[in-house]
Amino acid sequence: MRLIDIFVLNKCGSKKQAKKAIKKGLITVNNTIVDEDIEINDETVIYESKILDSHPLKYYIIHKPSGYVCANKDPHDPCLITLLPDENLHYVGRLDRDTTGLVIMTNDLKLRKRLTLPEFHIPRTYAFTCLYPLLDITPFKEGIVIDGDVKCLPAIVEMMSENEGTITLEEGRYHEIKKMFLSLNNKITSLHRIMYGDISLGELPSGSYRTLTKEEINHLKDITGRELCNISKK
């Protein structure tokens, strides 16, 4: 990562202010004053006696409990972000108050934008239970119409029993899964996200979080980069 980006992500100022700080000799890297924007790996960066985080981009997954909302402030319900060590994070794919499971949190705004844009078609998998037996999953393969005239992309449904299964979809429309079931005269009674791309919630306890591995971060960057190439070719 470039020195100027590290300066900005550590909230020391703007890129313009970073350039001025470098020009004035206010930044040292491994105790040496630098006079240009350089690539930083694991070096010690100091600005005005403050040691800067040389790896300021953060990536977490958290197991969202029921009752928490994906917001930074809410007058009625607890916010999921309060369970994390950093409040300068952004949600990747918000979940409803009563929906549980995997949520990605990051301050990498470029990656977050790509992960949430519908044209990138990032698969998300949920475990669900429904009120009435779901005996025919053909409508999901064909694309269910919601809100009267909006046709959803095809979704993959695998049933574990008549009322339980998993659903994988590549869209993020508002209340999409719940509306799909309502269109079939059924109702979701529980919804739990277990995967985002190839990243699995695994055995992470409810309310707990962990940092993403390098492999997981590279996976997210890879699938968004691949989809970006596909979009640009269209």
Residues 51, 74: Cα–Cα separation, whole Å: 34
**109-118, 165-174, 182-191: segment of lowest average pLDDT:** 109-118
The pLDDT assigned to 91 comes to: 95
Listed as own residue / partner, the contacts of 150-155 with beta carbons closer than 8 Å and 24 or more positions apart are 152/176, 152/180, 153/121, 155/180
Q: Letter for the amino acid at 12?
A: C
Q: Is the model's pLDDT at 232 over the cut of 50?
A: no
3-state SS, residue 146:
strand
pLDDT in tens, 85-133: 988 899 998 999 999 999 999 999 999 988 887 777 889 999 999 999 9
**11-15, 61-65, 190-194: segment of lowest average pLDDT:** 11-15
- Exposed / middle / buried, residue 217 (Cβ in 10 Å: 0-12, 13-18, 19+): middle
**Domains contained in the chain, CATH given:** 3-52 (3.10.290.10), 59-211 (3.30.2350.10)
Compute φ and ψ for 64, nearest 5 degrees: -70, 125
Residues 114, 220: Cα–Cα separation, whole Å: 9
Residues 198-225, mean pLDDT to the nearest whole number: 92
Left (φ > 0), alpha (ψ -120 to 50) or beta: where does 232 sit?
Answer: alpha
Residues 5, 18: Cα–Cα separation, whole Å: 9
Residues 43, 170: Cα–Cα separation, whole Å: 40
Indicate the pTM of the whole model.
0.85
Residues 128-145, mean pLDDT to the nearest whole number: 97
3-state SS, residue 95:
coil
The pLDDT assigned to 28 comes to: 95
pLDDT in tens, 35-45: 999 999 989 99
- Exposed / middle / buried, residue 80 (Cβ in 10 Å: 0-12, 13-18, 19+): buried
Catalytic residue among 5, 96, 136, 147: 96
Q: Is the model's pLDDT at 228 over the cut of 60?
A: no
The pLDDT assigned to 192 comes to: 98
Residues 137-156, mean pLDDT to the nearest whole number: 95
Q: Is the model's pLDDT at 233 over the cut of 70?
A: no
The pLDDT assigned to 173 comes to: 84
> Does 77 qualify as catalytic in the annotation?
no
Tokens of 216: 């997981």
Q: Cβ distance 220 to 161 under 8 Å? A: no
pLDDT in tens, 20-33: 999 999 999 999 99
